[in-house]
Structure 1
Amino acid sequence: MAELPTAETPLNQHSIRALEQWLSQLGATVVEGNPCEWRLTRSDWTAELLLAQEDLVVVWSAHAQDEQRCSLPYGLSRQDVEAAINAGP
């Protein structure tokens, strides 16, 4: 496995393989049949991560709550995006 760019590096400066490696390291799994859609499960919520053309779209689902959606620009650093995802809904 190749080394990821530093955590301060914007996502738009990561290769597709690096993005996939990072998502895997977060614990996300690719949705079968759609390499641009990933699923991340935590004890109290699930997130659908969509590698869209302009943004990384995150849709959180939590028990007894409405879905929450957030679009994170690829110009943000990987550490900022990771923090936003892990903050949950």
Structure 2
Amino acid sequence: MVDLPAATTPLYNHGLPQIEFWLTQKGCVQNRTNLHCWQFERPAWEAEICLDIEELMVRYHDRQGGDTVQRSFKYSLSRQDIEAAIFAGP
């Protein structure tokens, strides 16, 4: 088990194992080909979360054939703020 810093801690103060543990706890599955990317699914949409160098990128895909939305979040944001934004959906 990995200990996570307080939820108010900026994501850049989390080690990679802590970020990976957090994503796993949220129900994300790591992409076996692109290890820096993770998949997350909801009934109406799915998301691909990629850990980029300077920011976390999220691509939302509407399962009903709608638009794809892309958002990015700086690692200077707290884990709780990023979590609220990502998992609320597109």
TM superposition score category, shorter chain reference: over 0.9
**Distance in 2 separating the partners of 1:78 and 1:66:** 27
Q: CA deviation at 1:2?
A: 1.8
**Distance in 1 separating the partners of 2:32 and 2:21:** 16
**Distance in 1 separating the partners of 2:28 and 2:38:** 6
TM-score by length of 1: 0.96
Q: CA deviation at 1:33?
A: 1.9
Percent of residue pairs bearing the same amino acid type = 43
SS class of match (1:34): coil
**Distance in 2 separating the partners of 1:24 and 1:2:** 11
**Distance in 2 separating the partners of 1:81 and 1:59:** 14
After superposition, the CA RMSD in angstroms is 0.7
**Distance in 2 separating the partners of 1:66 and 1:22:** 27
TM-score by length of 2: 0.95
| Structure 1: stretches of 5+ with no match in the other structure | none
**Distance in 2 separating the partners of 1:58 and 1:2:** 24
**Distance in 1 separating the partners of 2:71 and 2:2:** 29
Q: CA deviation at 1:69?
A: 0.3
| Structure 2: stretches of 5+ with no match in the other structure | none
**Distance in 2 separating the partners of 1:48 and 1:33:** 13
Q: CA deviation at 1:64?
A: 2.5
* Matched positions, count: 89
**Distance in 2 separating the partners of 1:30 and 1:11:** 18
Match of residue 86 from structure 1: 87
The aligned amino acid for 2:69 is: Q
Match of residue 73 from structure 2: 72
**Distance in 2 separating the partners of 1:21 and 1:2:** 7
**Distance in 1 separating the partners of 2:17 and 2:2:** 9
